[in-house]
Structure 1
Amino acid sequence: MPLFFLIPLATGIATGYISQKCRDETGYIISLFTILSLILSLILAPWQIQLFLLIAVLVSTNRFLKQKN
């Protein structure tokens, strides 16, 4: 399983931490880069990880919907 998706993931986590410390317009630009790198990481992730994330989202959404009713 290639681990190329970890590079944009680590970059996204690092820039997310930096954007939390910035309070001006630079923080907004860094936050945009964080979002883009995390999306790229999800695109590059192997299908096993994508499937696991999809199942986790579906299960958690189902639980939240049951709590509302």
Structure 2
Amino acid sequence: MGLLFLIPLTIGLGVSYLFKNSVNDMAELTSLFTVACLIVSLILAPWQLKVVVLMLAILTPRRIQTFE
């Protein structure tokens, strides 16, 4: 199993670290870049990891809050 999907994931994690330590304008740019890196890493991930992520998304209970 290739580990090529870890490259954009680590770049995204590094950018998210910069997000916590930057000013507002730079924070918006880094948050967009982090989301893009995470999406690319999910695209490059092997199908076994995608199945695990899908199962976590399906089995995680959702809390529906209604405001009355």
Superposed pair shares fold, TM > 0.5: yes
> Percent same amino acid at aligned positions?
37
Q: Is 1:7 aligned with 2:29? A: no
Secondary structure at the counterpart of residue 13 of structure 1: helix
Q: Within 1, Cα distance between the matches of 2:25 and 2:62?
A: 35
The equivalent residue for 2:42 is 42
For residue 52 of structure 1, report the CA deviation from its aligned partner: 0.4
The equivalent residue for 1:57 is 57
Q: Which runs of 5+ in 1 are unaligned?
A: none
TM-score (norm 1): 0.85
Q: Within 2, Cα distance between the matches of 1:24 and 1:58?
A: 34
For residue 20 of structure 1, report the CA deviation from its aligned partner: 1.2
Structure 1 consecutive aligned stretches of length 4 or more whose deviation exceeds 4 Å: none
Q: Within 1, Cα distance between the matches of 2:10 and 2:62?
A: 29
Q: Is 1:33 aligned with 2:11? A: no
Report how many aligned residue pairs link the two structures: 65
For residue 24 of structure 1, report the CA deviation from its aligned partner: 2.2
Secondary structure at the counterpart of residue 3 of structure 2: coil
